[in-house]
Amino acid sequence: MKTEITNTSDVERQFEITATFEDMAGDIDKAIRAQRVRTTMKGFRPGKVPVHLVKKIYGKALSYGVAEDLVQRTFHDEVVHGDTHDIMGQPTISELDFDYEAKGDLRAVVTFGVRPAVELKDISDVTLHRLKHDVTEEDIQKEIDALRASHADLIPDEGPSTAESYVVVDLERMEEGELVEGTRQGDVPFLLSDENLMPQLKEALTGVSAGDETVVSFPGQDGEERTYAITVKEIKRRELPELTDELVVEITDGKVDTVDGLQEEVRKQLEEGWNKRSRELFEGDVIDTLCERHTFQIPASVVEMYQDAYVEELKKRGKDDKLPEGFDVEAYKASRRDEAELQARWMFIRDRIIESEGIEVTDGDMEKHYEEMAEGAGFPADMLKQYYESMPQMLQNVRERMLSDKVFAWIVDKVTVVDADVEEYQKAAADKAAENPAADQD
């Protein structure tokens, strides 16, 4: 048996195996005899079917199984167990030629990816904007009003409707100026203050009174524009209840029992939400920027690994952890290829930073983490530590997050970070997109 490794690119290798029929004959014979024990055939006792008949029926399939096993074992012994190649992704048998009936030689090729060599680029000239929003009393009041609105009474109103009105209408599709039979929808409610309401509907239903009729066009579920005839049935206004301690208890299911307590809780939740949004946006900007700076080949097997992970995530959201019938998996994977490549590129950059800077999560870091979590959860730190150590995967996820936090901290120390409010942040993002429209389009 002979083996050879060929470099097909900076990050792809091919492991070629050639073996004679004699190299596999012993294993093929063992497989056939094992199959004979399991084979039943009319006219023969179980396990006593003649070997030549077993060979005729099962020989070809069994020999290919032996060949694949030989390829996998040889690859594992010579490549996986070796120290020469840092294998990335899932190796695949890309070629396998073997003619059992002619007792021919085996030739097989295993294609596998290797870790790319990443040279860290200078990022000292990079400026990144970080979203910063100070929660205002107005923000808090708006959130509390939304909570009050969930307990509001709807009072009939003569109209005309305002931006805060609740409007009930009949809808009927129109095509070429004519009503489409069978498309009437009765008593459809719209809250005009709903931020998710299509602007075409909001504009058409503001300033109307019961009995008014109008026509409006807006995109349907398939993206094509639809035109509807609208008849206004009712106008109602929401009457918000007075904010009292009793209402606070009702709104929060007893978790908060005073108006002041609700205001503090809302402030806390808003601040946590803005901080989370800021962190996610900033980390996304960091990843995009560093990936733009570092161009290197990525093993196809690693990109496919991320694409397969996306499919598995989608399965978990479906019924019985399955995809819908007829779902085009390959088209879905293709639609997320750019995202998979970005994640793969960032993984290699992150790993290189960790290696070059000697970044690690120490026992002291973990102890501090347990103490901080215990303080917020009301449990002893030792109990949390025991819990995490009993859940290896969860513990690994925590370590990886802490490791990433240290990587981002190292990057922040190298670049210029400008804190920006919402308007400034959006302008900076728009300016960047204008400078690099191709990247934004991708």
Here the CATH number for the domain that contains residue 386 is 1.10.3120.10
For 116-151, b/e burial (b = at least 16 CB within 10 A) is bebeeeebeebebbbbbbebeeebbeebbeebbeee
What is the predicted pLDDT for the residue at 438? 55
Calpha distance 49→39 (Å, rounded):
7
Do 293 and 417 lie in a common domain? yes
- pLDDT of the chain along its 442 residues, tens only? 999 999 999 999 999 999 999 999 999 999 999 999 999 888 888 889 999 999 999 999 999 999 999 999 999 999 998 878 999 999 999 999 999 989 999 999 999 999 999 999 999 999 999 999 999 999 999 999 989 988 888 899 988 999 989 999 999 999 988 999 999 999 999 999 888 899 999 999 999 999 999 999 988 776 788 899 999 999 999 888 999 999 999 999 999 999 999 999 999 999 999 999 999 999 999 999 999 999 999 999 999 999 999 999 999 988 888 898 889 999 999 999 999 999 999 999 999 999 999 999 999 999 999 998 888 777 888 888 898 889 999 999 999 999 999 999 999 999 999 999 999 999 999 998 888 765 544 4
The beta strand positions in 177-264, using DSSP E, are 178-179, 185-191, 213-219, 225-239
Do 21 and 98 lie in a common domain? yes
Backbone angles phi, psi at 172, to 5 degrees: -150, 130
For 218-250, b/e burial (b = at least 16 CB within 10 A) is eeeeeeeebbbbbebbbbbbbebeebeeebbbe
Does 96 map to a domain?
A: yes
Does 165 map to a domain?
A: yes
Do 37 and 83 lie in a common domain? yes
Do 332 and 433 lie in a common domain? yes
Q: Which one, of 143, 195, 189, 142, lies nearest residue 170 by Cα? A: 189
The alpha carbon of residue 181 and the mean position of all alpha carbons in its chain are separated, in whole angstroms, by 42
Does 142 map to a domain?
A: no
Which CATH number characterizes residue 34's domain? 3.30.70.1050
What is the predicted pLDDT for the residue at 18? 96
Domain coverage including residue 348: 276-441
Q: What are the tokens at 400?
A: 């990886």
What is the predicted pLDDT for the residue at 437? 64
Calpha distance 126→131 (Å, rounded):
16
Calpha distance 350→409 (Å, rounded):
12
Do 185 and 65 lie in a common domain? no
Domain end, chosen from 190, 211, 239, is at 239
Do 109 and 191 lie in a common domain? no
What is the predicted pLDDT for the residue at 255? 92
Question: What's this model's pTM, rounded to 2 decimal places?
Answer: 0.79
What is the predicted pLDDT for the residue at 441? 47
Please, are residues 262 and 144 in contact by the beta-carbon 8 Å criterion?
A: yes
Backbone angles phi, psi at 230, to 5 degrees: -120, 130
Which CATH number characterizes residue 227's domain? 3.10.50.30
Domains contained in the chain, number: 3
Do 339 and 402 lie in a common domain? yes
Do 404 and 358 lie in a common domain? yes
